Amino acid sequence: MSVLGWIGTGVMGQSMCMHLMDAGHKMYVYNRTKEKAAPLIEKGAIWCSTPAEVAGNSEIIFSIVGFPKDVRETILGENGIIKGAKPGSVVVDMTTSSPKLAAEIHKALGAEDMESLDAPVSGGDLGAQAATLAIMVGGDKPVYDRVLPLFKIIGKNIALMGGPGAGQHTKMSNQILIAGTMIGTVESLLYAQKSGLDLGSVIKVIGSGAAGSWCINNLGPRIACGDYDPGFYIKHFIKDMGIALEEAKGMNISLPGLAMVHQFYISAAALGHEDLGTQGLYKVLEKMNNR
């Protein structure tokens, strides 16, 4: 079994790390808030005080943090992975982050005889808990092949999409699609609710037809019962859409639908909903229509 490191034990990271531990791997962990790593520590994970300390004890180091600035600090910062990792180590960043940063990290680690993969995931907290995540990987194939057995413990649909940054570009495509789908989901359910229909029954019927999607079938029931806890934070989705729009600008392409949806999510944050799950967009739409 491998000696692994895990940095970022939040909504998704904790479950993902737990699956690897359940498979018998020794684990060193770090999180900015130690309390969030408590279940892993109780199970036998070894706490470290910095990402560099995690890296110094691990063969393969996983990270899933919040924003690109957190990725940069975690991997390339003063107390980052690069300062502690040994030659031959592999760094796998599973944060949804910037493709350009992924390429920069690959180059910086390569100069120190270390390897890296960008491997963002899709599936939210439910996918993390069930170990059914989609994992989109960018990097070199020999490194991907080395890490693939570990990916298979936490995900089901796993693919090497290309070189450094390709995993992040694939995740941007994923987020662009989900962004628009979420608007359709909340508008559909508000219409049903205002029509006097039972939301659970509506979701069951339309979710099995041509309108079926992950959003309606997984987040729709949460909306129906008033559960807005984050499987994926609104604030993180705003971050993702910002990255996608920046990348699109660099490619000289226009994504008007994404730009419009981005403003809707920003409105949600302005109303104080940034720490809700993305299904919290329903509350924004509800407020707009209850004036």
- The CATH number that applies at residue 148 is 3.40.50.720
Positive or negative: CA dihedral 269, 252, 134, 106 = negative
- For residue 122, give the 3-state DSSP assignment: strand
Specify whether 96 is located in the same domain as 239. no
Determine the structural domain holding residue 227 and report its residue range. 169-288
Instruction: Identify whether the C-beta of residue 241 lies closer than 8 Å to the C-beta of residue 261.
Output: yes
Place of tokens 């982050």: 97
Nearest in space to 115 (alpha carbons), one of 105, 129, 125: 105
180 in the same domain as 268? yes
Catalytic residues: 171
pLDDT per residue over 211-248, tens digit each?
999 999 999 999 999 999 987 889 989 999 999 999 99
| Pair of tokens at residue 123 | 């599936």
Start-to-end CA distance of the chain, whole Å, equals 59
- pTM (two decimals): 0.90
Q: In whole angstroms, how far apart are CA 128 and each of 11, 19, 209?
A: 9, 9, 26
> Tell me: the pLDDT tens digits for 64-120?
999 999 999 999 999 999 999 999 999 999 999 999 999 999 999 999 999 999 999
Q: Is residue 197 domain-shared with residue 102, that is, in the same domain?
A: no
Q: Domain total for the chain?
A: 2
Shared-domain flag, residues 157 and 258: no
Boundary (domain end) residue, out of 112, 141, 162: 162
**pLDDT confidence tier of residue 1, bands split at 50, 70 and 90:** confident
Residues 31-39, mean pLDDT to the nearest whole number: 94
How far apart, in whole angstroms, are the C-alpha atoms of residue 77 and residue 71? Answer: 9
Per-residue pLDDT tens for 58-77?
A: 999 999 999 999 999 999 99
User: Domain with 230 in it: what CATH number?
Assistant: 1.10.1040.10
- Report the alpha-carbon distance of residue 265 to residue 259 in Å, rounded: 10
The reported pLDDT for the residue numbered 285 is 86
Whose CA is closest to 95, among 167, 27, 36? Answer: 167
Quickly count: other Cβ atoms within 10 Å of residue 86's Cβ.
13
The angle formed by the CA atoms of residues 247, 250 and 252, to the nearest 5 degrees, is 110
Residues 6+ apart with CB under 8 A from 290: none
Pairwise CA distance, residues 212 & 220, whole Å: 11
**Same structural domain, 151 and 188:** no
Please answer whether residues 256 and 241 qualify as being in contact, where contact means their C-beta atoms are separated by less than 8 angstroms. Answer: no
200 shares a domain with 242: yes
